[in-house]
Amino acid sequence: MDIVVKGRNVEVPEHYRQHVADKLQKVERYDHKLIRVDVELFHERNPRQSDHCQRVEITCVSRGPVIRAEACAADFYSALDAAIAKLDSRLSRAADRRRVHRGRHAPVSVAAATASLAFTQPERASVATLADVESFELVEEQNDQPWHIVREKEHPGEPMTVDDALFHMELLGHDFYLFNDKESGRPSVVYRRKAYDYGVMSLGA
């Protein structure tokens, strides 16, 4: 399993890369087919967000669904711990779903399978030393536009059911998920509404 650590606008020190590798050693127990884990660090420059200015995003790529988790904290060490706590929960749910589908039991409903994903409280984060926290070097970005596209993604378009789309959405920790509806054959989006409700939008002919 390859672990790729990069900073979107920070320089990542080598000791933090090793810290990430040590923390992620246990994730393979959920899925032995993991190919790569991408870890991205992002610094929020808004001084009003000082308590949550460091964000860590973790994406697990395997032969199965992509699983993602992110968290914000005052330092990258605490943010990493919180993100890994979320990741553990989602990897565990995905592993449980695989075991159910291999057997002869009925698949778990989306509500049951994803009930705790968005509301799982991370374990108490470890405290980093001041020297560790200050070792990250911010990289200035030149941008004259009031807005800019920071990420582009292309997803595989294999048809799936609405239930499967909802499951993938929860594993990614997103509020929406784009997919090709297996029943209608149309591009569709599932999205999260208030409380535990979901919605579905599709493109017409």
Residue 81, both tokens: 């711990």
**Mean pLDDT score, 97-109:** 55
**Mean pLDDT score, 136-154:** 64
Q: State pLDDT tens for residues 169-187.
A: 877 777 888 888 888 888 8
Rounded CA-CA distance 148/35 in Å is 31
Contacts 24+ apart (CB under 8 A), 76-79: 76/16, 76/41, 76/128, 76/133, 76/136, 77/19, 77/125, 77/126, 77/127, 77/128, 77/132, 77/133, 78/54, 78/125, 78/126, 78/127, 78/128, 79/54, 79/55, 79/125
Partner residues linked to 7 by β-bridges = 41
**Mean pLDDT score, 191-200:** 80
Pick the more confident residue, 128 or 201: 201
Whether this model's pTM surpasses 0.75: no
Rounded CA-CA distance 165/176 in Å is 9
The mean of the pLDDT values for the chain is: 76
- pLDDT score, position 124: 39
Partner residues linked to 43 by β-bridges = 54
C-alpha torsion angle, residues 9, 47, 86, 111 (rounded to 10):
-120
Q: State pLDDT tens for residues 3-16.
A: 999 998 889 999 99
